[in-house]
Amino acid sequence: MGRNTVEIAHLTKKFGDFTAVDNISFNVRDGEIFGFLGANGAGKTTAMRILCGLSRPTSGEGTVAGYDINTGQEKIKRHIGYMCQKFSLYPDLTVRENIRLFGGIYGLRDKEIRRKTDVMLDMLGMQTERDRLAGALPLGWKQKLAFSIAMIHDPGIIFLDEPTGGVDPETRRTFWEMIYDAAEKGTTVFVTTHYMDEAEYCDRVSVMVDGRIAALDTPDSLKAEYGAENMDEVFRIIVGRRPGL
């Protein structure tokens, strides 16, 4: 109740004299779907890498899933889920082998992996596909499988980096229904997307511009604040203000 899965204060990341992330602070509440938006090059990926324990901040502090972003990176990695559209499954391993590999990486015992494999395949209706190569699956199934595998260790929060880029309209929507189901079961969802209709599906949305968080609120409040019809307009107003290219 009312707890935060992510708490970030004054996070800054510099590369040489370039400041990629510039003193950002925000919280993500337990069980919410948090949309992390921004223009290309605004610093989203850099910030997300820090939240996932893959990079250390230059300064600032915070916790993800209860672990410190400066000192608890290995623990963070074990307690979060991560998926992106570009790479999530090994195409030349079978469905079962993929599940087993990721289960092993997250330190699950063999018995546990066997049990989870069965539950997962039943839930996805993929028992008959279990010995097929993951690369040969239709995109929609790949997406669902990748999402389930990213959750195999029951993380409190899952990071989704442009999970629906280039995906057909129906698969994109089915995927969001999986996100909703996960959130209803209490998983916190942190998601980036370039589809502004998907921004509407988030509980709250932040918009990054030039390394800073330029706006953060519910889609409805943002639309009201900027007098915009939809999130596409909100995004264009906020991001369009940036100077130069």
Partner 1 sequence: MDMNAIEIEGISKSYGSVQALRDISLQVRCGEIFGLIGPDGAGKTTLFRIMTTLMLPDAGRGRVSGLDIVEDFALIRRTIGYMPGRFSLYQDLTVRENLEYFATLFGTTVRDNYENIKEIYSQIEPFGDRRAGKLSGGMKQKLALCCALVHRPSVLFLDEPTTGVDAVSRKDFWNMLARIKASGVTIFVSTPYMDEAALCDRLALIRDGVIIGAGTPREIVSGFPFRLLSVKGDRMYRLLKVLRDTDGVISCFSFGDSHHLTYDPAKTDREKILGILTEAGFGGCIVKEIEPGIEDCFMWLSKR
With CB under 8 A as the contact rule, the residue among 59, 127, 218, 230 that binds partner 1 is: 230
CA–CA separation, 37 and 19 (whole Å):
18
Choose between 95 and 222: whose C-beta lies nearer to partner 1: 222
Q: End-to-end alpha-carbon separation of the chain, Å?
A: 43
| Cβ 148 vs Cβ 163: under 8 Å | no
Q: CB–CB of 196/232 below 8 Å?
A: yes
Asked if 235 interacts with partner 1 (CB under 8 A), we say yes
Identify whether the C-beta of residue 207 lies closer than 8 Å to the C-beta of residue 43: no
Q: Does residue number 77 form part of the binding site for partner 1 (CB under 8 A)?
A: no
DSSP state of 52: T
Residues from 158 through 187 that contact partner 1 (CB under 8 A):
162, 165-171, 173, 176-177, 180, 184
Rule CB under 8 A: say whether 196 interacts with partner 1. Answer: yes
Toward partner 1, which CB reaches closer, 67 or 176? 176
Q: Which residues contact 115 (CB under 8 A, 6 or more apart)?
A: none
Helix (H) or strand (E) holding 183: helix 169-184
Q: Which stretch binds partner 1 (CB under 8 A): 51-59, 65-73, 197-205, 210-218?
A: 197-205
Q: Which is nearer to partner 1, 76 or 145 (CB)?
A: 145
Backbone angles phi, psi at 88, to 5 degrees: -145, -25
CA distance 242 to 245: 8
Can residue 89 be called a binding residue for partner 1 (CB under 8 A)?
Answer: no
Task: Quote the least distance from Cβ 179 to partner 1, whole Å.
Answer: 10
Tell me how far apart the alpha carbons of residues 214 and 191 are, in angstroms, rounded to a whole number: 17
Quote the least distance from Cβ 183 to partner 1, whole Å: 9
Contact 90, 61 (CB under 8 A): no
Least separation in angstroms between residue 93's CB and partner 1 is 19
- Judged by CB under 8 A, the number of residues near partner 1 is 34
- Please give the residues from 97 up to 156 whose contact with partner 1 meets the rule CB under 8 A: 139
Contacts with partner 1 by CB under 8 A lie at: 38-41, 139, 162, 165-171, 173, 176-177, 180, 184, 194-198, 200-201, 219, 230-232, 235-236, 239-240, 245
